[in-house]
Amino acid sequence: MHETLFLCLALLLAVSLFVMIGQRLRVPTPIFLVLGGLAISFVPGIPTISIDPELIFLIFLPPLLYEAAWFTAWKEFWRWRRIIAGFAFGLVLFTSFAVAYVSSALIPGFTLALGFLLGGIISPPDAVAATSVLRGIDVPKRLISILEGESLMNDASSLIVFRFALAAVLSGTFVWQQAATEFMLVTIMGVVAGVSVAGVFYMIHRWLPTTTRINILLTFMAPYIMYLAAEEFHFSGVMAVVSGGLFLSNQSHRILNHSARIQGTGMWATVVFALNGLVFILIGLELPLIMKGLGGYSKTEAVLYALLITLLIIVTRVGAAFFTSGFTRIISRVISVADPNPGWRAPFIIGWAGMRGVVSLASALSIPLTLTNGEPFPNRNLILFITFVVILVTLIVQGLTLPFVIRLVNYQDPDNPAPQDEQETIIRLKLLDVALKTLNGKHAEEATTNELVGNLKNRLETDLDLTAQHLHSLDCDAGKIKRYNQILSGILTAQRDELRRLRHKKEFDDEVIRKEEARIDLEEEKVDHPIH
């Protein structure tokens, strides 16, 4: 028990160190974690780590999928729903078919069922990898929305393909008509199960006397209960988590107070960071065990098969992106679409942003060690090795070249949105205007008789004037804005030092000090992550 705990802590420490080093070297986090895990696996004396496959889906996937669903922008998701659905379902199925037939024809002893199993594993790109690479690059919001929405849905579709292919391998039989019917059933009923469980959590949040800590705990329990409830009835636990997460996210303003939202965001960011990091680093640590179990395949053959499969899925995705662009132009003559003329730049970027990641790793590692009759699972280590190479190559080759590709194609945002800082300021002006109208309309007399209400009115009027001035100042050049942020950062540092001094004085409660620290934290967040 102590050794297991020490190993978990060591892995978390390694994840943290690799992330810090990767950020210093300006290497995207997923890429550096995979390489770091691979490097650790070759250190003499490192114990061989074997993971219980049955625990992968249960431990890692529910919170990762739930967090992705929770922070999905529903408006953008609905706007690009047709493209997202096309990539998430159509492309996943097409990629699975392509991988199945090519791998079964290419690899000796590889059956069609094993090919579909491999296709279901490596077909879904990873939004975490894509957004990590795109962070800090000036890329249109629509591309991020499409990639994140696709990742949310293709996780579900690919894992359903994986589930049926795995059942076919284990049972030795596969009937297309029955599989198609069950595919629809488990998908639809998975959504029903997820929304039903989410409804129960909605009622608990809304109508029971919960506290901030209880609310945060409930959000952490929700994905696991959704997943287990659906899987208990042999429905899609993945679809349950995704649909339930989307429902509760859309109702978060009703069921969570501001404290729960702020603290919950921090909690979920930490949990997802740890889980993502662990999965990426574990595959590197598993590589020696995978290499030893390649069976009748030499390392050269395994690498060759893996590279050919990797090339296949890259070409398939880029080709599908261009096909979707052409199809959109045609179908726009019949129905209304978000963008009737996508051009070639956006499809090329989306097609190239097909890095594989966490879901593929979790799926591959969850393959059972043996069949139902007790025999070893056929070609399990070869599938794991191919998955590893696919992830490694797509992360390194596509991940490192994606910023260059974006600059090369020079894709300009056709939406031409106002800078987000300007949007925030305009919204702030409208909110202040509503506040003053409410105060003057319903509480005008109290503003003159109640000095607290009067002070509130004066503060709102002052904030309105200052916000209007800030909106006007956004026309300043970038140098002035940068200097403003530097000065503000210095002021906040001085305030924090003063709070640290006041903390030791008896006349100030720690609760008051913490509230002021939270206010400074929010201000510092704006300075450290300026919105352009």
Residue 40 and residue 14 in contact, taking contact as beta carbons nearer than 8 Å: yes
266: tokens are 């921090």
Residue 188: inside a domain: yes
What is the rounded CA–CA span in Å between residue 411 and residue 419? 17
User: In sequence order, what are the beta bridge partners of 370?
Assistant: 376
Find tokens 């969570």 and name the residue: 256
Q: What was the pLDDT predicted at 313?
A: 94
Range of the domain at 457: 426-475
Instruction: Indicate if 312 and 440 belong to the same structural domain.
Output: no
The per-residue pLDDT for 198 is: 95
Domain end among 438, 458, 475: 475
Residue 147 in contact with residue 125, Cβ under 8 Å? yes
CB atoms within 10 A of CB 210: 18
Whole-angstrom distance, CA of residue 384 vs CA of residue 297: 13
Q: Are 355 and 223 in a shared domain?
A: yes
Answer yes or no: do 322 and 431 share one domain.
Answer: no
498 and 459, same domain (yes or no): no
What integer pLDDT is reported at residue 305 of this predicted model? 92
Say what the pLDDT of residue 304 is. Answer: 92
Q: Do 514 and 381 belong to one domain? A: no
Contacts of 25 (CB under 8 A, 6+ apart): 32
pLDDT of residue 197: 96
Could you tell me the CATH number of the domain that includes residue 339? 1.20.1530.20
Terminal Cα distance for the chain, rounded: 49
Whether residue 317 sits in one domain with residue 458: no
Are 290 and 384 a contacting pair, CB within 8 Å? yes
pLDDT at 532: 42
CA distances from residue 226 to 66, 124, 180, 233, 268 in whole angstroms, order as listed = 10, 22, 24, 11, 17
Are 299 and 401 members of one domain?
yes
Is there a single domain that holds both residue 326 and residue 396?
yes
Residue 175 confidence (pLDDT): 64
Closest CA to 360 of 187, 168, 127: 127
pLDDT of 344 reads 86
Q: Residue 367, by phi and psi: left (phi above 0), alpha (psi -120 to 50) or beta?
A: beta
**Does residue 416 belong to any structural domain of this protein?**
no
Q: pLDDT tens across 117-165, in order? A: 999 899 988 766 776 677 666 777 788 888 888 887 887 778 778 888 8
Per the CB < 8 A criterion, the answer to whether 135 and 162 are in contact is no
User: What confidence score (pLDDT) does residue 208 get?
Assistant: 92
Q: What is the pLDDT of residues 295-316, one digit of tens each?
A: 667 888 888 999 999 999 999 9
Tally of structural domains, the chain: 3
187 and 168 in one domain? yes
Ordered DSSP codes for 371-422: -TTSPBPTTHHHHHHHHHHHHHHIIIIIHHHHHHHHHHHT---TT-PPPHHH
The reply to whether 273 and 371 lie within a common domain is yes
Is 377:165 a contact under the CB 8 Å cutoff? no
Does 40 share its domain with 52?
yes
pTM exceeding the 0.75 threshold for the entire prediction: yes
Query: Residue 178 and residue 191: Cα distance in Å, rounded?
Result: 20
Domain-embedded: residue 417: no
Domain stop point among 409, 443, 463: 409
Flag whether 309 is in a domain.
Answer: yes
CA-based angle 54:55:56, to the nearest 5?
Answer: 95
Q: Which pLDDT value is given to residue 531?
A: 44
Contact (CB, 8 A) for 104 and 115: yes
According to DSSP, residue 47 is labeled P
**Residues 117 and 253 reside in one and the same domain:** yes
Question: 415 lies in a domain?
Answer: no
Establish if 419 belongs to a structural domain.
Answer: no
Q: Is 306 helix (H, G, I), strand (E, B) or coil?
A: helix
Domain assignment present for residue 436? The answer is yes
Q: Which residue is associated with the tokens 């056929």?
A: 378
What's the one-letter identity of residue 296? G
Query: Residue 418 domain-assigned?
Result: no
Low-confidence ranges of the chain (pLDDT < 70): 1, 50-54, 56, 127-128, 131-132, 135-137, 172-179, 293, 295-296, 338, 415-421, 423-424, 428, 471, 473-481, 483-484, 507, 510-511, 525-532
Angle at 373 between CA 228 and CA 47, to 5 degrees: 70
